[in-house]
Structure 1
Protein backbone atom coordinates (compact mmCIF):
# COMPACT_ATOMS: atom_id res chain seq x y z
CA UNK A 1 0.00 0.00 0.00
CA UNK A 2 1.08 3.57 -0.48
CA UNK A 3 -0.07 7.04 0.52
CA UNK A 4 0.69 10.41 -1.10
CA UNK A 5 -0.78 13.89 -1.24
CA UNK A 6 -3.83 13.93 -3.48
CA UNK A 7 -3.03 14.92 -7.06
CA UNK A 8 -5.88 17.44 -7.12
CA UNK A 9 -4.53 19.19 -4.04
CA UNK A 10 -1.04 19.33 -5.52
CA UNK A 11 -2.41 20.78 -8.77
CA UNK A 12 -4.57 23.26 -6.86
CA UNK A 13 -1.58 24.42 -4.83
CA UNK A 14 0.45 24.90 -8.02
CA UNK A 15 -2.36 26.84 -9.72
CA UNK A 16 -2.78 29.07 -6.65
CA UNK A 17 0.98 29.70 -6.63
CA UNK A 18 0.97 30.62 -10.31
CA UNK A 19 -2.02 32.90 -9.77
CA UNK A 20 -0.24 34.68 -6.93
CA UNK A 21 2.85 34.95 -9.11
CA UNK A 22 0.87 36.77 -11.78
CA UNK A 23 -0.82 38.94 -9.15
CA UNK A 24 2.60 39.91 -7.78
CA UNK A 25 3.31 41.65 -11.09
CA UNK A 26 0.24 43.84 -10.69
CA UNK A 27 0.68 45.20 -7.16
CA UNK A 28 2.87 47.86 -5.58
CA UNK A 29 6.52 47.09 -4.63
CA UNK A 30 5.74 46.12 -1.03
CA UNK A 31 2.89 43.92 -2.23
CA UNK A 32 5.24 42.27 -4.71
CA UNK A 33 7.42 41.08 -1.87
CA UNK A 34 4.51 39.71 0.16
CA UNK A 35 2.51 38.21 -2.70
CA UNK A 36 5.65 36.98 -4.47
CA UNK A 37 6.82 35.28 -1.27
CA UNK A 38 3.46 33.55 -0.90
CA UNK A 39 3.66 32.44 -4.56
CA UNK A 40 7.12 30.96 -4.05
CA UNK A 41 5.97 29.18 -0.91
CA UNK A 42 2.99 27.56 -2.65
CA UNK A 43 5.00 26.62 -5.74
CA UNK A 44 7.73 25.09 -3.56
CA UNK A 45 5.14 23.10 -1.61
CA UNK A 46 3.55 21.80 -4.82
CA UNK A 47 6.97 20.86 -6.22
CA UNK A 48 7.91 18.98 -3.04
CA UNK A 49 4.59 17.10 -3.04
CA UNK A 50 5.09 16.14 -6.70
CA UNK A 51 8.67 14.92 -6.15
CA UNK A 52 8.18 12.78 -3.04
CA UNK A 53 5.43 10.50 -4.32
CA UNK A 54 4.54 8.14 -2.73
CA UNK A 55 5.19 9.72 0.67
CA UNK A 56 4.65 6.48 2.62
CA UNK A 57 4.86 3.00 1.14
CA UNK A 58 4.56 -0.43 2.72
CA UNK A 59 6.28 -3.57 1.55
CA UNK A 60 6.95 -7.09 2.79
CA UNK A 61 9.98 -5.93 4.82
CA UNK A 62 8.52 -2.74 6.34
CA UNK A 63 7.72 0.84 5.41
CA UNK A 64 9.57 3.48 3.41
CA UNK A 65 9.02 7.19 4.01
CA UNK A 66 10.20 9.51 1.24
CA UNK A 67 11.45 13.06 1.76
CA UNK A 68 13.48 15.54 -0.27
CA UNK A 69 16.60 14.53 1.66
CA UNK A 70 16.09 10.86 0.78
CA UNK A 71 14.09 7.99 2.14
CA UNK A 72 13.97 6.19 5.45
CA UNK A 73 13.13 2.51 5.62
CA UNK A 74 11.92 0.96 8.85
CA UNK A 75 11.51 -2.84 9.15
CA UNK A 76 8.19 -4.11 10.54
CA UNK A 77 9.59 -5.47 13.81
CA UNK A 78 11.19 -2.09 14.67
CA UNK A 79 8.29 0.11 13.52
CA UNK A 80 6.04 1.83 16.04
CA UNK A 81 3.05 3.65 14.53
CA UNK A 82 0.99 5.93 16.77
CA UNK A 83 -1.93 8.20 16.13
CA UNK A 84 -1.66 11.51 17.97
CA UNK A 85 -4.68 13.76 18.38
CA UNK A 86 -4.19 17.35 19.50
CA UNK A 87 -6.35 20.44 19.76
CA UNK A 88 -4.90 23.52 18.09
CA UNK A 89 -6.79 26.79 18.05
CA UNK A 90 -10.07 25.00 18.72
CA UNK A 91 -9.56 22.46 15.94
CA UNK A 92 -8.71 18.81 16.34
CA UNK A 93 -5.58 17.76 14.45
CA UNK A 94 -4.53 14.13 13.91
CA UNK A 95 -1.03 13.08 12.97
CA UNK A 96 0.62 9.75 12.37
CA UNK A 97 3.93 9.24 14.19
CA UNK A 98 6.30 6.59 12.83
CA UNK A 99 9.25 5.68 15.01
CA UNK A 100 12.15 3.28 14.59
CA UNK A 101 12.50 1.64 18.02
CA UNK A 102 16.14 0.70 17.33
CA UNK A 103 17.20 4.18 16.16
CA UNK A 104 16.11 7.13 18.30
CA UNK A 105 17.00 9.55 15.48
CA UNK A 106 14.17 8.36 13.20
CA UNK A 107 10.80 9.94 14.02
CA UNK A 108 8.48 10.86 11.18
CA UNK A 109 5.28 12.85 11.70
CA UNK A 110 2.75 12.87 8.85
CA UNK A 111 -0.60 14.62 8.62
CA UNK A 112 -3.70 14.19 6.50
CA UNK A 113 -2.41 16.43 3.72
CA UNK A 114 0.86 14.53 3.34
CA UNK A 115 -0.84 11.13 3.42
CA UNK A 116 -3.87 12.01 1.30
CA UNK A 117 -5.95 9.99 3.78
CA UNK A 118 -7.08 10.06 7.38
CA UNK A 119 -4.07 9.30 9.62
CA UNK A 120 -6.28 7.03 11.77
CA UNK A 121 -6.98 4.77 8.79
CA UNK A 122 -3.30 4.69 7.82
CA UNK A 123 -2.33 3.82 11.42
CA UNK A 124 -4.83 0.94 11.41
CA UNK A 125 -3.45 -0.36 8.11
CA UNK A 126 0.13 -0.18 9.42
CA UNK A 127 -0.75 -1.92 12.67
CA UNK A 128 -2.54 -4.64 10.71
CA UNK A 129 0.62 -4.99 8.62
CA UNK A 130 2.81 -5.65 11.64
CA UNK A 131 3.69 -2.31 13.19
CA UNK A 132 3.62 -1.91 16.95
CA UNK A 133 1.60 0.80 18.65
Structure 2
Protein backbone atom coordinates (compact mmCIF):
# COMPACT_ATOMS: atom_id res chain seq x y z
CA UNK A 1 0.00 0.00 0.00
CA UNK A 2 2.84 2.36 0.83
CA UNK A 3 4.40 1.58 -2.56
CA UNK A 4 1.11 2.55 -4.29
CA UNK A 5 0.96 5.91 -2.50
CA UNK A 6 4.62 6.56 -3.26
CA UNK A 7 3.98 5.87 -6.96
CA UNK A 8 0.87 8.05 -6.90
CA UNK A 9 2.95 10.86 -5.38
CA UNK A 10 5.56 10.37 -8.09
CA UNK A 11 2.90 10.67 -10.81
CA UNK A 12 1.98 14.13 -9.58
CA UNK A 13 5.62 15.20 -9.27
CA UNK A 14 6.74 13.62 -12.54
CA UNK A 15 8.11 16.08 -15.08
CA UNK A 16 6.27 14.18 -17.85
CA UNK A 17 3.00 15.43 -16.34
CA UNK A 18 2.52 19.01 -17.43
CA UNK A 19 0.00 21.50 -16.14
CA UNK A 20 -1.13 23.21 -19.33
CA UNK A 21 -3.09 26.45 -19.07
CA UNK A 22 -4.54 25.77 -22.54
CA UNK A 23 -6.39 22.70 -21.24
CA UNK A 24 -9.89 22.68 -19.77
CA UNK A 25 -10.14 22.02 -16.02
CA UNK A 26 -9.29 18.45 -15.02
CA UNK A 27 -7.03 17.75 -18.03
CA UNK A 28 -3.28 17.10 -17.89
CA UNK A 29 -0.68 16.73 -20.65
CA UNK A 30 1.40 13.52 -20.45
CA UNK A 31 4.63 12.94 -22.39
CA UNK A 32 6.17 9.48 -22.44
CA UNK A 33 7.87 7.05 -24.83
CA UNK A 34 4.64 6.66 -26.85
CA UNK A 35 4.28 10.40 -27.41
CA UNK A 36 2.11 13.16 -26.02
CA UNK A 37 -1.40 12.44 -24.87
CA UNK A 38 -4.00 14.01 -22.61
CA UNK A 39 -5.41 12.63 -19.37
CA UNK A 40 -8.79 13.64 -17.94
CA UNK A 41 -8.05 13.16 -14.23
CA UNK A 42 -11.66 12.97 -12.89
CA UNK A 43 -12.70 10.17 -15.28
CA UNK A 44 -9.32 8.53 -15.87
CA UNK A 45 -9.80 8.65 -19.65
CA UNK A 46 -6.98 9.50 -22.05
CA UNK A 47 -6.93 10.72 -25.63
CA UNK A 48 -4.39 11.70 -28.26
CA UNK A 49 -6.27 14.82 -29.43
CA UNK A 50 -5.79 18.07 -27.52
CA UNK A 51 -9.04 18.68 -25.61
CA UNK A 52 -10.73 22.02 -26.09
CA UNK A 53 -13.04 23.95 -23.82
CA UNK A 54 -15.94 23.05 -26.10
CA UNK A 55 -15.33 19.28 -25.89
CA UNK A 56 -17.90 18.80 -23.14
CA UNK A 57 -20.53 20.74 -25.12
CA UNK A 58 -19.80 18.76 -28.28
CA UNK A 59 -20.36 15.52 -26.40
CA UNK A 60 -23.86 16.75 -25.57
CA UNK A 61 -24.85 17.56 -29.14
CA UNK A 62 -26.54 14.89 -31.23
CA UNK A 63 -27.81 14.66 -34.80
CA UNK A 64 -31.50 13.67 -34.73
CA UNK A 65 -34.29 13.33 -37.26
CA UNK A 66 -37.83 14.37 -36.49
CA UNK A 67 -40.65 11.89 -36.95
CA UNK A 68 -42.91 14.92 -37.15
CA UNK A 69 -45.42 16.31 -34.71
CA UNK A 70 -49.16 16.32 -34.41
CA UNK A 71 -51.53 18.37 -32.32
CA UNK A 72 -53.42 16.62 -29.54
CA UNK A 73 -56.69 18.26 -28.48
CA UNK A 74 -56.53 19.57 -24.91
CA UNK A 75 -59.49 17.41 -23.81
CA UNK A 76 -57.47 14.27 -24.67
CA UNK A 77 -54.70 15.31 -22.26
CA UNK A 78 -56.73 14.92 -19.08
CA UNK A 79 -55.76 12.41 -16.37
CA UNK A 80 -56.76 8.93 -17.45
CA UNK A 81 -56.73 9.84 -21.16
CA UNK A 82 -53.32 11.42 -21.74
CA UNK A 83 -51.27 8.20 -21.86
CA UNK A 84 -53.51 6.72 -24.54
CA UNK A 85 -53.52 9.98 -26.54
CA UNK A 86 -49.73 10.28 -26.45
CA UNK A 87 -49.34 6.57 -27.29
CA UNK A 88 -51.62 7.01 -30.33
CA UNK A 89 -49.63 10.04 -31.43
CA UNK A 90 -46.31 8.19 -31.16
CA UNK A 91 -47.71 5.14 -32.95
CA UNK A 92 -49.09 7.34 -35.75
CA UNK A 93 -45.76 9.10 -36.24
CA UNK A 94 -43.57 6.01 -36.00
CA UNK A 95 -45.65 3.86 -38.37
CA UNK A 96 -46.84 6.37 -40.97
CA UNK A 97 -43.65 6.47 -43.05
CA UNK A 98 -42.83 2.77 -42.64
CA UNK A 99 -46.26 1.78 -43.92
CA UNK A 100 -46.37 4.40 -46.66
CA UNK A 101 -49.45 6.09 -45.19
CA UNK A 102 -50.18 9.73 -45.71
CA UNK A 103 -48.99 11.78 -42.74
CA UNK A 104 -51.84 14.26 -42.77
CA UNK A 105 -51.41 16.48 -39.76
CA UNK A 106 -47.78 15.50 -39.18
CA UNK A 107 -45.50 18.49 -39.65
CA UNK A 108 -41.73 18.42 -39.78
CA UNK A 109 -41.42 14.75 -40.68
CA UNK A 110 -37.90 13.84 -41.74
CA UNK A 111 -36.44 17.17 -40.67
CA UNK A 112 -32.79 16.92 -39.63
CA UNK A 113 -31.97 18.68 -36.38
CA UNK A 114 -29.28 18.94 -33.76
CA UNK A 115 -30.36 18.12 -30.21
CA UNK A 116 -28.26 20.10 -27.73
CA UNK A 117 -28.27 19.28 -24.02
CA UNK A 118 -26.84 22.21 -22.10
CA UNK A 119 -27.19 22.61 -18.35
CA UNK A 120 -30.94 22.27 -17.64
CA UNK A 121 -32.19 22.76 -21.21
CA UNK A 122 -32.84 20.66 -24.31
CA UNK A 123 -32.68 22.64 -27.55
CA UNK A 124 -33.43 21.59 -31.11
CA UNK A 125 -31.44 23.52 -33.70
CA UNK A 126 -31.23 23.65 -37.46
CA UNK A 127 -27.95 21.91 -38.41
CA UNK A 128 -27.29 24.28 -41.33
CA UNK A 129 -27.81 27.78 -39.94
CA UNK A 130 -27.90 26.86 -36.21
CA UNK A 131 -31.22 28.66 -35.75
CA UNK A 132 -33.27 27.60 -32.75
CA UNK A 133 -36.26 25.40 -33.61
CA UNK A 134 -37.40 24.61 -30.07
CA UNK A 135 -36.07 25.00 -26.53
CA UNK A 136 -37.46 23.49 -23.34
CA UNK A 137 -36.29 22.98 -19.76
CA UNK A 138 -35.44 19.29 -19.28
CA UNK A 139 -37.47 19.21 -16.07
CA UNK A 140 -40.64 19.86 -18.14
CA UNK A 141 -40.09 16.93 -20.51
CA UNK A 142 -42.31 13.89 -19.96
CA UNK A 143 -41.12 10.43 -21.00
CA UNK A 144 -43.72 8.05 -22.38
CA UNK A 145 -43.45 4.29 -22.80
CA UNK A 146 -45.03 2.84 -25.92
CA UNK A 147 -46.07 -0.64 -26.91
CA UNK A 148 -47.09 -2.34 -23.68
CA UNK A 149 -50.39 -2.60 -21.78
CA UNK A 150 -52.32 -1.44 -24.85
CA UNK A 151 -50.63 1.96 -24.74
CA UNK A 152 -51.31 2.69 -21.07
> TM class by shorter-chain length?
under 0.3
Pick the structure with greater CA Rg: 2
TM-score normalized by the length of structure 1: 0.25
